[in-house]
Structure 1
Amino acid sequence: MACTVRRLDTLTLLAVTIALWFAIAVEVFLHQLPCPLCLLQRVAFTMVGIGLLLNLRFGVCPMHYGVVILSSLAGLAVAARQVLLHILPGNPGFGSPFLGLHLYTWAAIAFFALLAYSGTALMLAFARQNGTPRRFSFPEKCVATAFFAIALINLISTVLECGPGPCTSHSFGYHWFRPWLGE
């Protein structure tokens, strides 16, 4: 059963990685910079990915799923807040919809699904591991590399957008590129 949960953790990490890559693609190719709430959702997805990576590297552990659960709860709270900000009739929402829903609505659904997955995985594979590092299989290495790459890209993108200070609700533009753009 632990092998099955390990494969499911790998697939779940792949889904989280794809979500983060998709968010960056929307930012870069559609020129839709993320708002501060969107950035917090990206942080929550990154923390979920770290919890899943811990499971893959050190074996299934309730503490690792705790990271996934707490990160998913934080992400769900932020995504739900953003959904509620744009729920009024006639409000166009933030950003372009994807398959009829905005990215923050998809994020709320994804965080809820991650909570359900974590609870199920805990029930299926609660086994004490000795905590020694395990070798990644080739697919796990590929997913882990893609995850680390997108986490680094998100960090760089956020620093470029917000600059050295906090991200404010009107920081729509790359802060460090403003001198070159004449802003």
Structure 2
Amino acid sequence: MTQTRAITLNALGLYAVALVLAAAFAAQFVLHELPCPLCLLQRILFATLAIGPILNIRFGPRPSHYAMSLFAAVAGAVVSTRQVLLHIMPGDAGYGSALLGFHYYTWALIGFIAAIVLLASILLFDRQFDDTAPQPISGGAFAQAAVWLMIGLTALNVVSTLLECGFGACADNPTVYELLKHAA
């Protein structure tokens, strides 16, 4: 695999993570379901998962960049497994709406496991790490758009979390935006 192909795959990975974060926002704003603290942590870990591809696009593919994403994916799998286990008892309706029979945290677990497998697989292609090849400067418009989309979605998540939780701990089962409650 060439560096150019690796950067294209990293950009596609960023678009996939952006789709996950956009779906979470859709549930939050369209269905009026505020994310719980573990859901917020999973969103942060999806944003952290994007750091490796962003660095690969900017500086060229490096095993250390993929390793950072692998660590984020493992942490995300642990957090989402924790939430799945919280709602595993018979009769527990789970937190939030289900999509195709699974709740967001179950989809998050599937996504983090898929990321682990895909990241480990892409590390098998050594040619992308060839130092004799010229380093990409920007990765092209397709890759740059993916980077800026992720940066924008991450910023929106930060603002949304601040509005929901305020400057204190987030509610276990949030029902209002704390900062907006005090403004009204």
TM bracket, shorter-chain basis: over 0.9
How high is the sequence identity, in percent, across the aligned residues?
38
Q: What displacement does 1:31 show?
A: 0.5
Task: For 1:83-162, list aligned pairs within 5 A.
Answer: 83-125=84-126, 127-129=129-131, 134-162=137-165
Partner residue, 2:166: 163
Partner residue, 1:81: 82
Q: What displacement does 1:129 show?
A: 4.1
Q: What displacement does 1:141 show?
A: 1.7
Q: Pick from 170, 173, 176: which aligns with 2:176?
A: 173
SS at match of 2:152: helix
Specify every segment of 5 or more residues in structure 2 that has no aligned partner in the other structure, as ranges.
none
Q: TM-score, normalised by structure 2?
A: 0.92
Q: What displacement does 1:66 show?
A: 1.1
RMSD value, Cα: 1.7
Q: Distance in 1 between matches of 2:90 and 2:138?
A: 52
* 8 A contact 1:44–1:74 mirrored in 2: yes
SS at match of 1:21: helix
Q: Distance in 1 between matches of 2:182 and 2:67?
A: 43
More contact order relative to length (CA 8 Å, sep ≥ 6) = 2
Partner residue, 2:72: 71
Q: What displacement does 1:166 show?
A: 2.4
Q: TM-score, normalised by structure 1?
A: 0.92
Q: Is 37-46 or 172-181 further displaced after alignment?
A: 172-181
Q: 1:138 to 1:167 in 2, by over 3 A?
A: same
Q: Distance in 2 between matches of 1:133 and 1:157?
A: 34
SS at match of 1:89: coil
Which deviations, in whole Å up to 9, do the C-alpha atoms of 1:29-72 show, x marking residues without a partner? 11000000000000100001111111111111111111100000
Q: Would you say how many aligned residue pairs link Structure 1 and Structure 2?
A: 181
* 8 A contact 2:7–2:143 mirrored in 1: no
Q: What displacement does 1:168 show?
A: 3.5
